[in-house]
């Protein structure tokens, strides 16, 4: 998979994406990650990428020219162009799996007061947000999305079962079951006997029940969403694009 990122702060990506699973995916050739400074597509001597909004208002908007030129130089017919913006659909594990099937992602990170609307209208295949709160820029959301997507690529994790059994996965649509390791007893706290029994069927039943219980107690919204999703179309303005491409 190839992922390109357009940002005003390329140095922010140094470090978080050079460690652990992402680092191994890059070194093994599973991931071709390229970070680009949007100012490289600005033509004036000040490398200007923003301007005041027409009609007045606070803040500055990212100009269309450098973004259009950057996308035109980086994207192909197979590229999925994604804006990182609070107006996007909320990123989750289902969308991560959706994106992991793509050959090429181009993430455009917002800053200031956002994008000129023509960028949305003419360039974007999708818009994503990582939550209902405000960040300084789209750099951190881009890193979150990259991490969530790359770990789903075949071969990225040492154990393929890990991605299948963890929270929010198809094998565990709610929260993951509790897990324990050695020692079997620590400061009076004991590992559940069933996990020490060697009875794999009993262990599987215990884990399934614990996962359901944890989800009911901590995230009942996941159960409601799963039930609703089986019978209802996606909410207006948040289309399911899994089959669009």
Question: CA 112 to CA 98: how far, in whole Å?
Answer: 29
Q: Give me the mean pLDDT over the 203-231 stretch.
A: 88
Question: CA 26 to CA 3: how far, in whole Å?
Answer: 11
Question: CA 34 to CA 15: how far, in whole Å?
Answer: 14
Sequence length of the chain is 245
Question: CA 221 to CA 132: how far, in whole Å?
Answer: 16
Number of Cβ atoms within 10 Å of the Cβ of 131: 11
* Rg of the chain in Å (alpha carbons): 22
Confidence of residue 226 (pLDDT cuts 50, 70, 90): confident
Quick check: 95 pLDDT over 70? yes
Per-residue confidence (pLDDT) for residue 216, from 0 to 100: 94
Quick check: 45 pLDDT over 60? yes
Question: CA 108 to CA 38: how far, in whole Å?
Answer: 9
Q: Give me the mean pLDDT over the 33-50 stretch.
A: 96
In this predicted model, which residue has the larger pLDDT, 171 or 10? 10
- The C-alpha torsion from 30 through 36 and 41 to 47, rounded to 10°, is 180
| Residue range 2-150, CATH number | 3.40.1280.10
For the chain, the average pLDDT equals: 89
Which residues, listed in sequence order, are joined to residue 34 by a DSSP beta bridge? 4
Confidence of residue 167 (pLDDT cuts 50, 70, 90): low
- Decide if 152 contacts 101 (C-beta within 8 A): no
The distance of Cα 90 from the centroid of its chain, to the nearest Å, equals 9
Quick check: 98 pLDDT over 50? yes
Question: CA 244 to CA 93: how far, in whole Å?
Answer: 18
Per-residue confidence (pLDDT) for residue 243, from 0 to 100: 33
Domain boundaries, the chain: 2-150, 160-229
Quick check: 244 pLDDT over 90? no
Quick check: 78 pLDDT over 80? yes
Q: Give me the mean pLDDT over the 214-222 stretch.
A: 93
Query: Coil, strand or helix: which one is 166?
Result: coil
- For the domain made up of 160-229, the CATH class stated in words is mainly alpha
Q: Give me the mean pLDDT over the 201-227 stretch.
A: 92
Nearest residue to 147 via CA among 1, 6, 22: 22
User: Tokens representing 93?
Assistant: 């594990």
Q: Give me the mean pLDDT over the 24-42 stretch.
A: 97
List CB contacts of 11: < 8 A, sequence separation 6 or more: none
Does this model's pTM top 0.85? My answer is no
Per-residue confidence (pLDDT) for residue 43, from 0 to 100: 92
Write out pLDDT tens, residues 104-159.
999 999 988 899 999 999 999 999 999 999 899 999 999 999 999 999 999 998 65
């Amino acid at each position: 998979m190839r992922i390109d990122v357009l940002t005003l702060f390329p140095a922010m990506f140094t470090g978080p994406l050079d460690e652990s699973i992402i680092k191994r995916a890059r070194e093994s050739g599973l991931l071709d990650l390229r970070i680009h400074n949007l100012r490289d597509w600005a033509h004036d001597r000040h490398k200007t990428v923003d301007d005041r909004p027409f009609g007045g208002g606070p803040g500055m908007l990212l100009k269309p020219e450098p973004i259009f030129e950057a996308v035109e130089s980086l994207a192909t017919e197979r590229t999925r162009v994604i804006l990182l913006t609070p107006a996007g659909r909320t990123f989750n594990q289902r969308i991560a799996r959706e994106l992991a099937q793509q050959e090429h992602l181009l993430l455009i990170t917002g800053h200031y007061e956002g994008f000129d609307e023509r960028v949305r209208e003419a360039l974007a295949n999708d818009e994503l947000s990582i939550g209902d709160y405000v960040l300084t820029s789209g750099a951190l959301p881009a890193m979150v999305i990259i991490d969530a997507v790359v770990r789903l690529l075949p071969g990225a994790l040492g154990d393929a079962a890990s991605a299948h059994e963890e929270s929010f996965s198809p094998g565990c649509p709610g929260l993951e079951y509790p897990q324990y390791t050695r020692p079997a007893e620590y400061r009076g706290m004991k590992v559940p006997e069933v996990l020490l029994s060697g009875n794999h069927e009993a262990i599987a039943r215990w884990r399934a029940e614990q996962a359901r219980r944890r989800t009911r107690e901590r995230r009942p919204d996941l159960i409601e969403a799963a039930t609703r999703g089986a019978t209802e179309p996606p909410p207006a303005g948040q289309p399911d694009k899994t089959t669009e491409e």
